Amino acid sequence: MFSHKKKNQLRGGKSSRFAEKLKTRELESATMRTNKFGIRIAASALALAVSYGAQAVTDEDIMNDANTPEDVVSYGMGTQGQRFSSLEDLNTDNVKFLQPAWAFSFGSEKMRGQETQPMVKDGVMYVSASYSRVYAIDAKTGEELWQYDARLPDGIMPCCDVVNRGVALYDDKVIFGTLDAKLVALNKDTGKPMWIKKVADYQAGYAITAAPLVVKGKIITGVSGGEFGIVGKVEAYDANTGEKVWTRPTVEGHMGYVYKDGKAIENGISGGKAGVTWPGDMWKNGGAATWLGGTYDPETDSLFFGTGNPAPWNSHLRPGDNLFSSSRLAIDPDDGSIKWHFQTTPHDGWDYDGVNELVSFDLKEGGKTIKAAATADRNGFMYVLNRENGDFIRGFPFVDKITWAKGLDPKTGRPIYTEGGRPGNPADMEGKKGKTVVAQPAFLGGKNWMPMAYSQETELFYVPSNEWSMDIWNENVSYKKGAAFLGAGFTIKPANDDYIGVLRAMDPKTGKEVWRYENTAPLWGGVMTTAGNLVFTGTPEGYLKAFDAKTGEELYRFNTGSGVVGTPITWTMDGEQYVSVASGWGGAVPLWGGEVAKVVKDFNQGGSIWTFKLPKDRVASK
């Protein structure tokens, strides 16, 4: 047997003496590492295949995910990102009987920031963990089938913790992104790497934290790194070979490409040309990172990706709208062309990233059904758009107070800026720190990364949000590869004495809040809703909670032992309904939260996946 230290090295622990070899032999080393455990892994996988009849995941499986409650094979429980389950065995009457089935520890000292959404296929759960790890777990028993740890180099620069939000499943592969900006495809039965592709240069500040999308046999990924002056992009890779299919930069002025026979063919400059909405050469390091990934709408054949803040934060250095930062983009999945864009915060000066998910839904009003999509932005406004062309339908606040804008133009949705609401120009202070302003929401947003859910039953959105403000000021800064490119300082403060987090039910037809649940600590986990009239989410205090989708009444809570910042799922197996969620406190709040971080300083870190089920005898007869 190997010693514990040797096992960690084989599974991917850092070791400086291997650093140079890893640069040229990463795939070979990963394959050898897996082979060290090949007998145990192969035996488990074989037993699982016999027991469950494990099948490959097809394009049809992914496109139909929202209608197949026996599995979860897409990030968002359906490519449109509604996170709605048609299951109703578990409901408001019997959710109190939901009980733990098993818990699985991610192990080691890497116990923080578990923001993942699990996947389930044919009795196997595939789940990622912090520090770019992936596990296959027997969904019935919680037994580990295999584990893969990416060998991360020294010097990775994730802005907002060492998180990973999930994997993609396709054919016989489990695909995920790493903190050193690679895509890795693993064999679903053994965990053995099938291909590894470099997406971007981690030494320039790039990383990947989002779950990839799979559309028409292509792996679609975004990138992180907006705080380092990178250039955001969306890229497609062939799922079978890992070869690049197309790339689309999300900063105006950069060339897009499609790839044929290994050759790059120009496919038009993003925005048409450089310098239209950016001054000078600022577009060359313009940010607009696509760090949250995207959704896909098969009805319009469109990828929907949000883009992050322009770089640097100091907006006085880059006058103009700074396209395509802080925007939502509709992208052609075949070649990466931009179909339309909608910018939520033109000339962003508060770090109000526009990355938050755009969720497709059918808006029924005025006797018509509109192909719509909604997003709850960091800036505190919720937007309803026509997803066919990007036209603005309506927008409204979903937080209690917004100071940086007085409202939205009713025709275009463009913000009406508050006079004096922008942090001051350092040039007005002889190059020293610019005038400080108080802005609400804080830059961590009225809603951050944590995905909302839409119920087809209630026709409401369930939005995890936070009430906080910030002191923010600008400073001078210049770009240097791999260095922070902010040009701003800030302090975040709670907006209320007794709560920060608010789970809200929002009506997209009226813009009204239907109900709310207030939480002491910030909410940082995703939301799921079901046809059983339930809404599930987690809290940093450690609870998985369930609410009545119509009234907001809390119906269930279970403490997982660490803060829940993951996103729950539900599925059926052997006639029983299951719920799973990752537990493990971390993410941006304790790193960037200022005074807010004091509220959560005593919360325990962790790393586990909890799975619950409703016993068969608690299901009402039909």
Residues assigned a catalytic role = 351
Beta bridge partners of 121: 124
Q: Is 299 annotated as a binding residue?
A: no
Q: Is 165 annotated as a binding residue?
A: yes
* 510 contacts: CB under 8 Å, gap ≥ 6: none
Residue 521 CA to residue 508 CA, distance in Å, equals 26
φ/ψ (deg, to 5) at 49? -60, -40
Q: Is 448 annotated as a binding residue?
A: yes
Closest CA relative to residue 219, chosen from 26, 59, 373, 31: 59
Question: Which sign, positive or negative, has the C-alpha torsion 151, 155, 159, 162?
Answer: positive
CB atoms within 10 A of CB 222: 27
Q: Is 322 annotated as a binding residue?
A: no
- Amino acid symbol at 35: N
Closest CA relative to residue 153, chosen from 222, 201, 209, 185: 201
- Tokens encoding 305: 């990706």
DSSP conformation class of 278: S
CB atoms within 10 A of CB 21: 13
Residue 563 CA to residue 543 CA, distance in Å, equals 7
Q: Is 467 annotated as a binding residue?
A: no
DSSP conformation class of 28: H
Q: Is 209 annotated as a binding residue?
A: yes
By the 8 A CB rule, do 94 and 620 touch? Answer: yes
Residue 548 CA to residue 430 CA, distance in Å, equals 56
Residue 438 CA to residue 272 CA, distance in Å, equals 37
Strand 327-331 versus strand 302-306 pairing type: antiparallel
- Tokens encoding 215: 């559309």
Residue appearing with tokens 């019997």: 94
By the 8 A CB rule, do 322 and 310 touch? Answer: yes
- Tokens encoding 607: 């790393």
Q: Is 309 annotated as a binding residue?
A: yes
Q: Is 449 annotated as a binding residue?
A: yes
CB atoms within 10 A of CB 35: 14
Task: Name the CA radius of gyration of the chain, rounded.
Answer: 23
Per-residue burial over 551-576, b = 16 or more CB atoms within 10 Å of its CB, e = otherwise? ebeebbebebebbbbbbbbbbbbeeb
* 281 contacts: CB under 8 Å, gap ≥ 6: none
C-alpha distances in Å from residue 546, one per residue of 96, 115, 461: 9, 19, 15
By the 8 A CB rule, do 206 and 200 touch? Answer: yes
Q: What residues are designated binding site for Ca(2+)?
A: 227, 309, 351
Q: What residues are designated binding site for pyrroloquinoline quinone?
A: 115, 165, 209, 448-449
Q: What residues are designated binding site?
A: 115, 165, 209, 227, 309, 351, 448-449
